[in-house]
């Protein structure tokens, strides 16, 4: 089994990596940006998805990292948290995998992302892209 480990040690580095990632690496993933920003924003936010019923199926994995997201159908309610914490999480599809790796760069501690086959079918050499923007990330075969 292959796992991506994401390590971020300095809190001030987190926002820099997240900004670079969201503006340069995967700027085409609209909802991914909002899910991550709203997870860390102050207060309560709501997203209504108009296209894909299962858009928020990976929010349980983000909640394992300390996010406070309640998703039902095409709606997700976000209660902003101060920070995310590294945790073992499982990718359920391509976008979920990318979201979990990005969340790992925004988290304090080590994040382990499993089920990489979903990510690999859409993003070639994703670890290298993250390294170029300063993430400490590696792929491990178990």
Q: What is the pLDDT of residues 42-94, one digit of tens each?
A: 888 888 777 776 778 889 999 999 999 998 888 889 898 989 999 999 998 88
Distance (Å, whole) CA 89 – CA 104 = 10
Q: How many CA atoms lie within 13 A of 103 on its CB side?
A: 36
Distance (Å, whole) CA 18 – CA 141 = 26
Per the structure block, which two tokens stand in for 121?
A: 């079918």
Distance (Å, whole) CA 25 – CA 126 = 9
Burial of 113-141, coded b for 16+ CB within 10 Å and e otherwise, reads bbbbebbbeebeebbebbeebebebeeee
Range 91-98 average pLDDT: 86
- State percent of the chain over pLDDT 70: 75
Q: How many CB atoms lie within 10 A of CB 86?
A: 20
Distance (Å, whole) CA 33 – CA 20 = 12
Is residue 26 very low, low, confident or very high in pLDDT (cuts 50, 70, 90)?
very low
Average pLDDT of the residues of the chain: 78
Q: Which residue has the higher pLDDT, 32 or 58?
A: 58
Q: Which residue has the higher pLDDT, 88 or 22?
A: 88
Distance (Å, whole) CA 16 – CA 86 = 18
Q: Which residue has the higher pLDDT, 15 or 26?
A: 15
From first CA to last CA, the distance across the chain in angstroms is: 5
pLDDT score recorded for residue 25: 47
Q: What angle separates helix 94-106 from helix 11-20, to the nearest 10 degrees?
A: 150
């Amino acid at each position: 089994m292959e796992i991506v480990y994401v390590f971020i040690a300095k809190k001030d580095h987190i926002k820099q990596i997240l900004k670079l990632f969201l503006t340069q690496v995967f700027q085409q993933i609209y909802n991914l940006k909002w899910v991550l920003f709203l997870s860390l924003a102050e207060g309560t936010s709501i997203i209504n998805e108009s296209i894909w019923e299962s858009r928020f199926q990976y929010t349980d994995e983000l909640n394992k990292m300390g996010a406070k997201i309640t998703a039902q159908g095409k709606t997700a309610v976000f209660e902003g948290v101060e920070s995310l914490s590294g945790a073992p999480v499982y990718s359920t599809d391509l976008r979920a995998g990318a979201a979990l790796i990005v969340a790992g760069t925004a988290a304090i501690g080590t994040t382990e992302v499993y089920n990489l086959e979903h990510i690999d079918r859409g993003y070639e050499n994703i670890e290298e892209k993250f390294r170029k923007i300063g993430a400490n990330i590696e792929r491990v075969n178990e």
